[in-house]
Each structure stands twice: as structure tokens, then as C-alpha cells.
Structure 1
Amino acid sequence: MSRIFVLEDQEESYFLIKRAVDNQHSLTWVKTIAEAMQTFNKDFDLALIDIELPDGDGFQFCDWIRAQKATSSIPIMFISAKGAVESRITGFSIGGDDYITKPFNIVELKARIEAKLRWKNRDIDHVLGAEGISLDLRAQHVQIQNQLDSKWSTLDLTPIEFKILNLFLNEPNKALSRDEILNKIWGDGVYVYPRSVDTHVSKLRSKLGEKSGYIKSVHGVGYKFSTENEPDDAIEDHIPSSKMTVLYHDKDLAKSVTASSG
């Protein structure tokens, strides 16, 4: 039985969450950020967070969770009546793993909760690496090794940069389109300009320093992570068009689809 933390000030919403969980997991319920900071700890397997709260917003609490070493890797799902695309983007950008809008479908919420718990409980090595790069999923930090003195230093990455590097390390030597990166980092149906990927990758490369060359531009596609010595921006596009993911690049359409899916 997993332990789920619920920060929700509305009793009706909490009881709907309780129905979705259906006694399969243990719930701890608090109504304010102040209570949450006193109660939340590393033993929880998932955090469900409302955004509009009596003493602040759920984004603040998400920041607090991610800033604590002991809790930084716990999955976070936002549950909110705020269905605007901007709110969703903020949620993912500060380290949220999922976002569902009220009123929600109980069956869908249950499926999303189980999916997050399966990911959390997978028996996998929590440290990923490449030559001179180490990414710790539990501690949520990245270290790089200096080629001259072999010393390791910790990088200060944003949650989005951390997720992008995690994606690259999990799929080395694979050409990833911008749309594919968008879907895997921000989620389906969330409107983000495709070129936003370029901005975040550029900042990540800058922070990687002498290891920046591992992230290679793939002409006509996007990026791939490789420690092999090969020319940047000169890799052929081998991704079939049928495999490409379609996003809603029309902002009004994205808002409409997002609202209807919530």
C-alpha cells in the first residue's frame, strides 16, 4: 500500500479523491500549506496538490518539496480548477509531474495516480550517467567531472533542464524530435512553442560546459545525446514521419482542447 499526500482545502474534492483511491492506498489530508510543511516527509510516494489554497498557492509548496533533498524526487500531481494553459505550463516548469483539472473524472484520476505510483515503485537504478556526467534521480542533482583534475562539481539545473537531461540519458544515441521532447517533458495537449525546446537545450548545454558537445543537433529533427565524436548538426533524419507526435500549435485550439479534456 502506497502513501499519498493530499493538499486540498475543499472537502468535496478530497472525498472524490478518496473514492478514486478506493482504500487501495493510505491518504494523508491537509488543507493549508502551513500544515503541509509540517506534515510532508520522504515517506510519501505521491503528492496531490491543489493550487488555490487559503494561505498561498500549490506552486509554492511544489517549490518547497523540490528544494528539500529528502523529498525532491517524490512525484507531484496538481489537481486544480485552474485549467488555463499558462497554469499548466507553470506547473510542469516548476517540477510537477502531472496536472488534472476540476471537475475531474474519478476513473481518469485513479488511472493517473496508479501510473505515477508504478513509475515511482519501479525497481531501477536511480543514478544515470555518461562519460563524466552523473544524474541522481532521488537526490535530483547532476554532477559533472572536470577533465583536467577529475574533480566532480554539482550543476544548478532548473526542473525542466533536469528532465531534458534525464530524457537524453535514458535514450542515448536516439534522434529526438522537438515535438517528442515537448510531449515527454511538458505532456500531451499543453501548448508550448516548439522552439522553447531550443532555448532550454541551449541553457543546458551552457551549464554542461566541456560536456556540452554530448548534446548534438540533428538536422531537420531536433537533438540527440551521444558521447561519440561526430559532427554536430549533420546527422541524417531517420525518424519516419508516421512516428512524429502532433501537438496543438494553434494557441486557441490548444486552449479549447485542454479545457474540454479537463
Structure 2
Amino acid sequence: MAGERILIVEDETDLLRTLDYNFKQASYETLVTTNGREALRLVAQTPSPDLVVLDLMLPGISGYEVCKSIRNQEKTRHIPILMLTARGEVVDQEMGFDVGADDYLTKPFSMRELMLRVKAVLRRTNNLPAGVVEGFDEISFGPLQVDQNAHQVWVNGEEIQLTFMEFKLLVAFLENRGRLLTRDLLLDQVWGLSAAVQTRTIDTHVKRLRQKLGDAGHYIETLRGAGYRFIKDAD
């Protein structure tokens, strides 16, 4: 759906112009900046942007710090964040997801893949109040409790913080307990992306989700060569 506002934070001016041009051609409204401090000012304004496309390596305040700050503010914590970076190491991706990024693209990337991911995120979040997702309200499973309306998750009574995509992934698993979910199926149902898109996002998100779930992390089983399955019955 056209008309959403995208905040682009990128210190490479040529790439910034390219992103700005392509998003405008796709009928998005854009806000642009080359530094983290200005990004935090823009993201806090009213109305807030619907999505932040955030470069990792920024002068002054890094993309990690910008992402963390956005997630720590009640007004902005629901805004999806897609990180762009030249650093493709798994540890860098994990750091990005750890501070709250919803997705991660390594430079160089195709504009088509970026647009597909942006469109998928905006389609999921469009017209939803902050923190609200589709589906039933509350789920209890063993030590795990999920409140979809409040976008909150508890394990053994202790609240854990999940990013927007981690939350969506957990709900997808809970709604399909005992069933095999292939990577292609998860890519389509959770990310809204075609299986033709090459990405390690799913595996990285599952790894992070398991870690955050702690005692409930083992409920997500890996079926080698096939995908993942959330166990049917709690311990």
C-alpha cells in the first residue's frame, strides 16, 4: 500500500539518493538523514515513520545505538527496523537482532529484494495499533504465556523482550504446534516474502528466539533438511 512514511538513515550519500528515489517512485513518503542523532529526532516526531531503513555504520551514534534507543521508547518501540550494512558476519547480524532489528540486508543488495521486504513488513503492520497483531488474544503453553494484544511474552512468569518479527515467528509456531514448518513456508507466512528470496534471516531469528525463550527454547525443534517444528504437547 502506497503512502507509508519511510525513514532512511544512510551516510553514503549516493546510496541515500538511490534509496530515496526508488522509494518515492514506489509512492512512499520519505524522510532522510545521514546520522543517528537526526534519525532519533525524526523517528520521535508525530506522526512517526511506518518503517526505518537503518545503516549500521553511522558517524557519531551507530545504527546499533539508534535501534536500541528506538526499542527503548514506548512511542517508537513498535516501528519495524530493517538494517543495511556492509558487514555480513553472522555475529553482526545477531547483534543487530539482539538490539531489536526486524530484518537485516547485507550490501550490496538488490533493490528488488529490499522492496519486497519493505512491502512485506508494511503489509503486516498497516492499520494495526502499536504492538497489536492479528489472531487470538492469549496463549498459555507450559511455562510460556503470550498476550498478543499487549505484545508481551512471559517464561516462568518473567517477561522477555521480543522484536516484532520474533513475536510474529513465535505466534506462527504456537498456531502450528506439532506441524512441520518449512523455511519457505515461514518466509511466506511470517515475512511475507517469496521463497525465491535468498536469506538466512529465518535461521538467525529462530536461534535468537530460542535463546530468549530460555527454558521454553527447546520447544522449537530443528528437523534437519526440512525446517522447524514446535512441539505439540508441553512438558
TM-score, with length taken from structure 2: 0.68
Q: Quote the residue 1:25 is aligned against.
A: 28
Q: How many residues align?
A: 212
CA distance in 2, matches of 1:87, 1:192: 15
SS, match of residue 52 in structure 1: coil
Q: Quote the residue 1:34 is aligned against.
A: 37
Change (3 A) 1:114 1:223: closer
SS, match of residue 87 in structure 2: coil
Residue 155 of structure 1 aligns with an amino acid whose one-letter code is E
Runs (5+) with no aligned partner, structure 2: 192-196
CA distance in 1, matches of 2:16, 2:223: 49
Contact residue 104 and residue 201 of structure 2 kept, 8 A: no
Q: Quote the residue 2:139 is aligned against.
A: 130
Residue 190 of structure 1, aligned match among 200, 209, 225? 200
Residue 51 of structure 1, aligned match among 52, 56, 59? 56
Q: Quote the residue 1:155 is aligned against.
A: 159
Q: Quote the residue 1:92 is aligned against.
A: 97
Give the C-alpha shift of residue 140 in structure 1: 4.0
Change (3 A) 1:191 1:135: closer
Runs (5+) with no aligned partner, structure 1: 147-152, 233-262
5 Å-filtered alignment, 1:1-262, equals 1-21=3-23, 22=25, 24-41=27-44, 43-121=48-126, 125=134, 128-131=137-140, 133-136=145-148, 140-143=151-154, 155-159=159-163, 162=167, 165-176=170-181, 189-190=199-200, 197=207, 201=210, 204-206=213-215, 215=219, 223-224=229-230, 226=232, 232=235
Contact residue 16 and residue 106 of structure 1 kept, 8 A: no
Give the C-alpha shift of residue 59 in structure 1: 1.3
CA distance in 1, matches of 2:97, 2:80: 12
Determine what percentage of the aligned residue pairs are the same residue.
Answer: 25
- Between structure 1 and structure 2, the one with the greater Rg is 1
Contact residue 36 and residue 61 of structure 2 kept, 8 A: yes
TM-score, with length taken from structure 1: 0.62
Change (3 A) 1:180 1:130: farther
Residue 102 of structure 2 aligns with an amino acid whose one-letter code is D
Give the C-alpha shift of residue 191 in structure 1: 8.8
